[in-house]
Amino acid sequence: MSKGPVLIDLDDSVRPDVAEAAPVPELGMGAAQGQAMQVAARLGARKVSWLASLFWGLLATFVGAAVSVTAWDFAVGLAARSPTLGMAVSVVGASLLVVALLMILRELAGFARLRRVDGIKSAAARAVETKELGEARKLVDQILRFYRDRDDLRWGRESLQKRRAEVMDADALIVLLETEMMAPLDKVAQMEIEAAARQVAAVTALVPLALADVVAALTSNLRMIRRVAEIYGGRTGAIGNWRLFRAVMTHLVATGAVAAGDDLIGTMVGGGALAKLSRRFGEGIVNGALTARVGVAAMEVCRPMPFGEGRRPSVTGLVKRALAGLFSKES
């Protein structure tokens, strides 16, 4: 058997044309879809079935009863063996119950604050719709009472109280209210959104660990929504914050806002710069932009009155300020 080279004759008449070859797909920004934020949004917006709710409720009741009986038996048995030590453990247990009760009361107070914000928001919508001066003045009174203990709004309250009597038009009074009371809060809320978008983008781009971007997106958005609620006066506990997060995410998913299929990213940086970014950096920018969208939605949900014309913050502007200097761009 011959071990020499094998020659294969090729037909010179059939040669592929390089110009007709399909272009190589780009793996840069064009493939980035913000998967971390997509997953976080689905987790937040996912509905829990009644069967799952019943299961977790029964499980919590059973575990709570078992822990309570075990703790009681432990304290009684310890007191029988050593009265002094048993008394100390009983004091610790009673203190734990008091702290748990305080946490429950804080949750209930948080829900009450959110309901109060919803009531003010309904009054604001009614005042904007009817354009009646009486409704606008009622709204001003509600806002002033709601923020009467806020030291950071003292100057705005004083200015509003001095100038409100001079305004005899409902629209002008609402504009004055938004300028004096809402504008300072909007600036602080935007700073929180920019910080969250910057953190999510940096973790996505720089941390290659699996699921790290999802965890960063979820925790950063939860913290951002809680801070936005606190800025506008709707302080919440852990359960209230999660429900607020679900409300925001459900709204965004229902409206299709948590998606990267539009021109939002293209308006932030030039196409030449995007082509040079790696996929991780592209995902970071997209996740940061989607975090900014969640932040704006949180402002709309937590704000005691709707945005006036031209006052709703631009997502593109928020992302530009948040990511300024974080990723290098072409000049």
Is residue 171 helix, strand or coil?
Answer: helix
Query: What pLDDT score does 190 carry?
Result: 92
CB count within 10 Å of CB 314 equals 12
Q: Count of domains in the chain?
A: 1
- Which pLDDT tens digit goes with each residue over 179-213? 899 999 999 999 999 988 888 888 877 776 767 77
d(CA 160, CA 151): 15
**220 part of a folded domain:** yes
**48 part of a folded domain:** no
Q: Which residues contact 62 (CB under 8 A, 6 or more apart)?
A: none
**168 part of a folded domain:** yes
Q: Is 109 exposed, middle or buried (0-12, 13-18, 19+ CB in 10 A)?
A: middle
Query: What pLDDT score does 276 carry?
Result: 47
Query: What pLDDT score does 186 carry?
Result: 92
**330 part of a folded domain:** no
Query: What pLDDT score does 327 carry?
Result: 53
Query: What pLDDT score does 248 carry?
Result: 73
**Separation in Å, CA 255 to CA 35, 225, 238, 251, 304:** 18, 19, 26, 6, 22
Give pLDDT < 70 ranges for the chain. Answer: 1-50, 208, 210, 237-238, 240, 250-280, 325-331
Is residue 185 helix, strand or coil?
Answer: helix
Residue 121, domain extent: 59-322
**261 part of a folded domain:** yes
Alpha helices in 131-182 (DSSP H): 133-146, 154-163, 170-177
